[in-house]
Chain A
Amino acid sequence: MSVIGKIVTLLRGSARELGESIVDANGVRIYEQEIRDARDAIAQAKNDLAGVMAKEMQSAREIERMRAEIERLEKLAVEALNKGKPDLAEEVAARIAEQEAELERQTQLHADYALQSNRLKDLIKTSEAKIREHEREVQMAKATESVYKATQSIADNIVSSGSKLVSARESLDRIKKRHEDLADRMTAADTLDRDLGTKALEIKLAEAGIGEDIQRKSKVMARIQARQAAVESKA
């Protein structure tokens, strides 16, 4: 079964169980050991595969060589018969028989090597798949464990601190209210500044004809009047 399949089965049972059974520490150790074993098996299989494939090629060459040799010997036997030397032909036939037996053995060997190398290739494939599966399993188990144990710590802590999780609506209302309070405070500060702040005071003073701006204007006016008087007296 897939890892997610297992989690689904456990979830249908009890959520609490999920934290415990999938994450059985012993199970995780077994998987981790299996992952190491599968890695070793792959390394060994790759090594073996190289050797077997070399032998497979060697035996293919040997078979080729023997077939050629048998062909050559048969031609020689025919020649011996043609020259009226049946004894010699017989001798060659005996050699051919030997070669044929050897060829048969070599052919069998070649088939064995081919079978072995296919088996090793399959082993590598299944071991790789096993590693992937177990790694996923261990990772998911650990993630699940971590989440459920963390949840446990959070729940325990909330209980022990005496505080209780309020409902989502209450939380939202409180957060919103705090935001509104802040916004209200900022608006109030602006209004206050306009009504009672430094700007407001200066406006009032100016309206009453008090303040530097007002004095500055009267000083400039006085200066202009003095200059005008000077020009008039010259003229």
Chain B
Amino acid sequence: MKSLQERLGGLDTVLSARLGGAPVSLQPMPGEIPVIQTVIGGREELPIFITASDAQVLCICYLWKDDEIVPEKRLELLELLLDLNPAIPLSSFGKVEGRYVLFGALSRDARIDDIASDIVALSDNAIDALDALSGYLS
């Protein structure tokens, strides 16, 4: 099987073109499981991490940590996230080790174009979600 980095060859160019020429960098991260960090110019604070398993390609964007939620608005926020999940195109809210994430899951056979669409949607959705939900965060 091809390495994740090989499979994502050319993704930066495709992404950059979709983002109107914004610079895009793909960087592999050291570790046991292949993870590629995607940084979009102008959105450096919200990198997208791409990882793959046998079953799927996962694109993850970290949103906020557990302790950033205003305690008394927590339940309301959680219900809102569940309500929002089906409505947001291509991305879903989730939680990994105390961090809230927005993620998109694709088949492991997904084409570069599909992955690029997912990442662009994820990045736009992440900024949108932070903006819309910042009232729940401290």
Contact = CB atoms under 8 A, between A and B. Distances in A.
B58 interface: yes
Interface in B44-69: 45-46, 49, 51-56, 58, 60, 62-65, 68
B contact face: mostly helix, strand, loop, or mixed: mixed
Interface SS, A side: helix
Contact of A148 (B43, B64, B96): B96
A36 interface: no
Given A151-B97, A168-B63, A157 B56 contact: no
Contacts of A152: 31-33
Given A143-B53, A143-B56, A175-B127, A151 B96 contact: yes
A149 B137 contact: no
A153 B51 CA distance: 11
Contacts of B130: 168-169, 171-172
Contacts of A156: 30-31
B29 A143 contact: no
B79 interface: no
B82 to A, nearest CB: 16
Interface string A171-189: 1101110110010000000
B29 A153 contact: yes
Interface in A108-157: 139, 142-143, 145-157
